[in-house]
Amino acid sequence: MAETSATLLERLNDRSDSVAWRRLVDLYSPLIKAWLRYHGVSAGDAEDVTQDVLGVVVREVSRFRHNGRAGAFRTWLRTITTNCLRQSCRSRRLRFEAASPPDLVALLDQLEDSASDLSRRWDREHDRYVLERLLELIEPEFATTTWQAFRRQVIDGVPAKTVAAELCLTVNAVLIAKSRVLSHLRREADGLVD
Domains located in the chain, CATH noted: 5-140 (1.10.1740.10), 142-194 (1.10.10)
84 touches 53 (CB < 8 A): yes
97 touches 42 (CB < 8 A): yes
SS (H, E, C) the chain: CCCCHHHHHHHCCCCCCHHHHHHHHHHHHHHHHHHHHHCCECHHHHHHHHHHHHHHHHHHHHHCCCCCCCCHHHHHHHHHHHHHHHHHHHHCCCCECCCCCCCHHHHHHHHHCCCCHHHHHHHHHHHHHHHHHHHHHHHHHCCHHHHHHHHHHHHCCCCHHHHHHHHCCCHHHHHHHHHHHHHHHHHHHCCCCC
The mean of the pLDDT values for the chain is 82
* pTM, to two decimals: 0.70
Q: What are all long-range contacts of 23-29, with beta carbons under 8 Å and residues at least 24 apart?
A: 23/137, 24/54, 24/57, 25/54, 26/133, 26/137, 27/130, 27/133, 27/134, 27/137, 27/192, 28/53, 28/54, 28/57, 28/77, 29/54
Q: Which of 102-116, 120-134, 171-185 is least confident?
A: 102-116
Res. 6: pLDDT tops 50: no
Output the pLDDT for position 165: 97
Output the pLDDT for position 180: 95
Name the pLDDT band for 102 (thresholds 50, 70, 90). Answer: low
How confident is the model over 57-100, as pLDDT tens digits? 888 877 877 666 677 788 888 889 888 888 887 666 666 555 44
- The better pLDDT of the pair 26, 157 is held by 157
Res. 124: pLDDT tops 70: yes
Output the pLDDT for position 4: 35
Output the pLDDT for position 131: 86
Instruction: For residues 133-139, give the mean pLDDT.
Output: 88
